[in-house]
Amino acid sequence: MRQIATSLVIIALSGTALAQEAPAPEAQPLVEITPELDASISKGLTFLASQQNDDGSFGDGSWGRGVAVTSLAALAFMADGQMPGRGQYGEHIRKALDYVLDRSGESGLLADDQAPSPMYGHGFAALFLGEVYGMSGGDEALQERLHEALVKAVRLIERSQNEEGGWRYNPVPNDADVSVTICQVMALRSARNAGIEVSSEVIDNAVEYVKACQNPDGGFRYQTRNGSSAWPRSAAGVATLYYAGEFTDEAIDPGVNYLIREALPGQGLRRGYFFYGHYYAVQAMYLAGGDAWRTWWPAARRELIDLQSPNGEWPDRTVGTAYGTAMALIVLQMPKRYLPIYQK
């Protein structure tokens, strides 16, 4: 796997001639998990558990309850090593799983009635099912139900890919954007990791679509037509390439450097799509490894811990508190490496 040189990181942060000439310092061991981080995670998980609705769902704010936030909340518990019915939050995961499985339609779409932009929720929900299916066993009835729902979900993703190679808000192959595309690619990668057959042609086409969205500055625009780079979708673009198995593609290094240059945590709070950006950026940097991860992780950890409220929540004014808290917890638990999707 390619690594970003320490000297390039220094250049990206300072831009000075002196920094460009400075030798790369000897790498020191990175302490990924600290007592402060453990305390923050524990408090956050306790708060998140208190937000589960009686029907097993999670969600508040403008989006309300639904499969997207419910799946992300369950993944936050699973990132702590919990499983449905097992562990401190096992029952919370089990109830969330039942909620999502109950919303598997005949077409394979995982969605609530009248859900806005259903392919977002479908991608997160299919990812959740893939992780559960790949990690659990023993309950044959549950495994059979999971397998059926997951296969149907994967086939829906495959047949709704548009001619450019991406996906958009609805399960029809009419349009595409980077943001929805990464959700589907992660779901496909999780399903393939769990042993479900996934079309290699679909993955290859997704790679070509995402690469067509990269700008000369290394960042990614929202769609293939002209547009500016932005850090959340650039993080999604880099993550898409990694999850598609493109670890050495020439598009990756410019994308990683763009993120370090434009969005290194601690350089000023970026409000737009904040948790979404952190969610994909930490995955991109973890998969990049080396100096990129060494530079990004302590800064991201510090920023999120500092933003946590005393009661353990991470508020999000757009999608809601359960969403913000779940996303922050997934990011902060990346170094635990419990979920197969986050393992190299």
What pLDDT score was predicted for residue 85?
Answer: 93
Give the model's confidence band at 63: pLDDT under 50 very low, under 70 low, under 90 confident, else very high.
low
pLDDT in tens, 116-160: 889 999 999 999 999 999 988 778 889 999 999 999 999 999 999
Give the model confidence (pLDDT) of 192-217 as tens digits: 999 999 999 999 999 999 999 999 99
pLDDT of residue 267: 86
Residue 226 has pLDDT above 80, yes or no: yes
Q: Which of 307, 310, 339 is nearest to 324 (CA)?
A: 307
What one-character-per-residue DSSP string does 27-96 give?
Answer: PPPP----HHHHHHHHHHHHHHHHT--TTS----GGG-S-HHHHHHHHHHHHTTT-BTTBSTTHHHHHHH
Using pLDDT thresholds of 50, 70 and 90, give the confidence band for residue 69: very high
Q: Residue 26: its pLDDT value, please?
A: 55
Mean pLDDT of 268-275: 82
pLDDT surpassing 60 at residue 22: no
What is 121-147 written as a DSSP string?
A: HHHHHHHHHHHHHHH--S-HHHHHHHH
**pLDDT tier at 11 (50, 70, 90 boundaries)?**
very low
DSSP state of 108: S
> What ranges do the domains of the chain cover?
6-342
Which CATH number does 6-342 carry?
Answer: 1.50.10.20
Average pLDDT in the 17-36 region? 66
Average pLDDT score over residue span 304-325: 95
Alpha carbons 264 and 13: distance in angstroms, whole number? 9
pLDDT of 25 strictly over 70: no
Model confidence at 5: pLDDT above 50: no
Provide the pLDDT for residue 2: 42
Got the DSSP string for 208-222? HHHHHTB-TTS-B-S
Q: Write out pLDDT tens, residues 236-248.
A: 999 999 999 999 9
CA distance 187 to 131: 9
Q: pLDDT digit string (tens) for 153-192?
A: 999 999 999 999 999 999 999 999 999 999 999 999 999 9
